[in-house]
Amino acid sequence: MFVTGFRCVACGATRPAAFEGFVCPACHGNLDVTYDYDAVRASMDMDAPFQSPRNDIFKYAPLLPVENIDSAPRLRVGATPLYRAERLGRSEGLRALYLKDDGLNPSASYKDRASAVALARARDIGAPIVAGASTGNAGSSMACLSASAGMPCVIFVPEKAPAAKIAQLLIFGAHVMAVRGTYDDAFDLCLEFCTKHGWFNRNTGYNPYTREGKKTCSFEICEAFRWQAPDWIVVPVGDGNIISGIWKGLKDLHALGLIERLPRLACAQSSDSDAISKAVWTLQRQTRERPGPIDWATVAIPTVQATTCADSISVDVPRDGIAAVRAVIESGGSAITVPDLDILAAIRELALLEGVFAEPAAATTWACLKKMVREQKVDPDQRIVCLITGNGLKDIANARKVAGEPMVIEPTLEAAEAGLRPLLETG
């Protein structure tokens, strides 16, 4: 392990690697894991970095806080496809658009990256049980990977989480607490419970190891481009832990000298759950009026009443807000919000033009990128990656709103011919 300790993302205070807490003792801010980059560099061939027998996120072990590689789950997490999306790109005049399909992870969401590292850490320290709160994906992911490792798992979810996500939790054998309340209620309850009983808490934007797992996607993207960063990465944002993880990974690669320049990050949100975007816009306005360094310890993230249909990014109180806002501001990026109707339309377009089925949160990236094109925030020749963070099968109720209806017919050739007449005539 090349971990040197932790640094608070808000006040900058540091703690040694042996620190066992999850948040900054000085200000309760979230912690970032720090590494000895010289030692990482010395440990591998920098012309062919991260050679490993593993074909998953643990091939990047020198940049992960995992002591024993045998603590990592066996299921393949990461190594997801990066598709060149020519037809979708062309529909908006973009010539180098890519989709990173993380819906193809073991539990069908990006969250497996975080759960895998959290599980490895829990096993490293001999935790007897893992717990977590979730809008659905983080929990189903933790349940899936825990099942693969025989680790007992307790998940607090809002009672109204999509049925597929609840089904996943149950089928993987998690102890499911369906909370009569919001994700934020589930989060607070899980935290209170774990603090009282000393359980290992995987909560997003609280446990510092989730960001470490989430950063691995930026390693895969840059490696696929032969250690060059794209111009933009568009990230769906709820708590802000994915976008802060993507930024952390990019900064790791930059510190190692593996990539020369850093991309810009676009924070993609629904206008019905826009806490982080609001914070970004406020800071951008303030720095335009009064240029100078930002004192992150004084930055406040507003609370909103989230109502978006994109359940995975429906968040009132973003739990990794400061780190997420830093990612957007420090990368020279942008925060974009779109109405839910645009998100639903984007699900349809991704599926029709690229064969990629995204859940609403994931399709938000494409909906927001279209808005960026309209506002001329991106150049048509720039290399742009949209993260597709969750599979569409997780929320078919929303997909059905834009999918249309099948033609119901009698089981006869005539009925099929009548139904398919337009196709027969053109074909």
Which residue ranges make up the site for Zn ion (CB under 5 A)? 8, 10-11, 13, 24, 26-27, 29
Which residue minimizes CB distance to ligand PLP?
390
User: For residue 344, what are the CA distances in angstroms to 36, 68, 191?
Assistant: 44, 43, 33
Complex with ligand PLP: residue 145 or 256, whichever CB lies closer? 145
Q: Which does 111 bind (CB under 5 to 8 A by kind): Zn ion, ligand PLP, none?
A: ligand PLP
Query: How many C-alpha atoms does 368 have within 13 Å on its Cβ side?
Result: 30
Q: Which does 390 bind (CB under 5 to 8 A by kind): ligand PLP, Zn ion, none?
A: ligand PLP
Complex with ligand PLP: residue 71 or 141, whichever CB lies closer? 141
- Residue 266, SS3? strand
Calculate the dihedral angle through the C-alpha atoms of 99, 105, 107, 113, rounding to the nearest 10 degrees: -100
Q: Which does 135 bind (CB under 5 to 8 A by kind): Zn ion, ligand PLP, none?
A: ligand PLP
- Residue 158, SS3? strand
Tokens encoding 109: 């969401």
- Residue pair 246/220 in contact by the 8 Å Cβ criterion: no
Q: C-beta of 283: minimal distance to ligand PLP in Å? A: 18
Q: C-beta of 242: minimal distance to ligand PLP in Å? A: 4
Complex with ligand PLP: residue 110 or 296, whichever CB lies closer? 110
Q: C-beta of 184: minimal distance to ligand PLP in Å? A: 12
- Residue pair 6/14 in contact by the 8 Å Cβ criterion: yes
Complex with ligand PLP: residue 24 or 362, whichever CB lies closer? 362
Q: Which does 240 bind (CB under 5 to 8 A by kind): ligand PLP, Zn ion, none?
A: ligand PLP
Q: Which does 105 bind (CB under 5 to 8 A by kind): Zn ion, ligand PLP, none?
A: none
Q: C-beta of 6: minimal distance to Zn ion in Å? A: 10
Instruction: Return the beta strands (E) in 22-123 as ranges.
Output: 31-35, 82-84, 97-101
- Residue 225, SS3? coil
Complex with ligand PLP: residue 146 or 365, whichever CB lies closer? 365
Q: Could you give the CA distance from residue 88 to residue 363 in angstroms, rounded to a whole number?
A: 12
Q: Which does 388 bind (CB under 5 to 8 A by kind): Zn ion, ligand PLP, none?
A: none
Question: Looking at beta carbons, which pairs linking 175-180 to residues 24 or more positions away fall under 8 Å?
Answer: 176/139
Q: C-beta of 125: minimal distance to ligand PLP in Å? A: 23
Among 160, 391, 134, 361, smallest CA distance to 270 is for: 361
Instruction: Return the beta strands (E) in 36-143 as ranges.
Output: 82-84, 97-101, 130-133
Complex with ligand PLP: residue 62 or 102, whichever CB lies closer? 102
User: Hunting for tokens 């009983």 — which residue is that?
Assistant: 197
Q: C-beta of 327: minimal distance to Zn ion in Å? A: 17
Q: Which does 241 bind (CB under 5 to 8 A by kind): Zn ion, ligand PLP, none?
A: ligand PLP
Complex with Zn ion: residue 301 or 335, whichever CB lies closer? 301
DSSP secondary structure letters along 1-26:
--EEEEEETTT--EEETT---SB-TT
Q: C-beta of 364: minimal distance to ligand PLP in Å? A: 8
Complex with ligand PLP: residue 283 or 315, whichever CB lies closer? 315
Q: Which residues bind ligand PLP (CB under 6 A)?
A: 109-111, 135, 137-138, 204, 236-242, 312-313, 359, 361-362, 389-390
Q: Which does 24 bind (CB under 5 to 8 A by kind): ligand PLP, Zn ion, none?
A: Zn ion
Tokens encoding 379: 């150049």
